[in-house]
Amino acid sequence: MDVSRVIFSIDFIAFSFRLLEHCYGSFFLGPLIVMIGDMVATTIKFLIILSAFFIGFAVASESVLNPEAQMNGLLPFYLFRKPFWNMFGEFFLEDLDASVNDQDNMCTDDPLIYNKYTTLRCPSEVGKYFVPVLMGLYYLTTNTLLFNLLIAKFNYKIADIENSSAKIWRYQYFVINIEYSKMFILPPPFFGLTVLLLIAHAKGYRGDLFSIDIPKEKFAALQRLEKTTLYNIIQSENDKQNMCSSCSNMNNSLQKV
């Protein structure tokens, strides 16, 4: 029953994200959704670099702090739990000060007990002094260097998308119209009624309300028109560049005179 709740919760999260697709029709929100998607892709690539520091610190600190830890199914969870929260300022310094004789912060040296992760393990003497220094370097590297590098990359992405937000909105608006034109009007299990309605109104269901049948002769004429227009645009751009270069050469010659 608990597993089903987890699956349904993940499904609801995916459904909530799916609702963001309707924001593509907005000139303001559409480019923002594209920004978020690009940031997620950048973050995934950034995690590859971060994982080197993350895994290195996790294994190094655990091997020094608890050298007698045994491999079991719970070790990966507790191995990476503290380094993950260390990146966000949670240092667990009270665990480094734990002692067998401390009633308020008691720990154990018995492997049969601490390998079950029910009681706090006593840190090694070397780990009490080495791990805080290593943790400080780890926090400084991840927060000051890597996270600021990620933020700078985000700023570059935002500026790049902001400069072409109009083109992005037009494209996304076109894509969402094409996508929903191919969908059924009625929800399941009424797909058959949708097909009948489309047949009645469109005299045949093609699966795409935006497509039309063009004869071969007209299609060839459209292709020729497209090529001619493209050639004219390229030619005009070349003429502008040649004119600018000639003007600059003339100005240079006048300055020399």
Task: Name the H helices within 140-215.
Answer: 147-163, 165-181, 191-202
Report which secondary-structure segment, H or E, holds 140. Answer: none
Is 132's pLDDT higher than 80?
yes
- What residues have CB less than 8 Å from 222, skipping those under 6 apart? 214
pLDDT tens sequence across 143-154: 888 989 899 888
- Over residues 28-57, the mean pLDDT reads 89
Q: Please give the pLDDT value at position 158.
A: 85
Is this model's pTM higher than 0.75 or not? no
Q: How do residues 182-237 score in pLDDT, each as one tens digit? A: 666 666 666 667 667 666 655 544 545 556 667 888 888 888 888 898 888 888 88
How many Cα atoms are found within 13 Å in the side-chain-facing hemisphere of 29?
A: 8
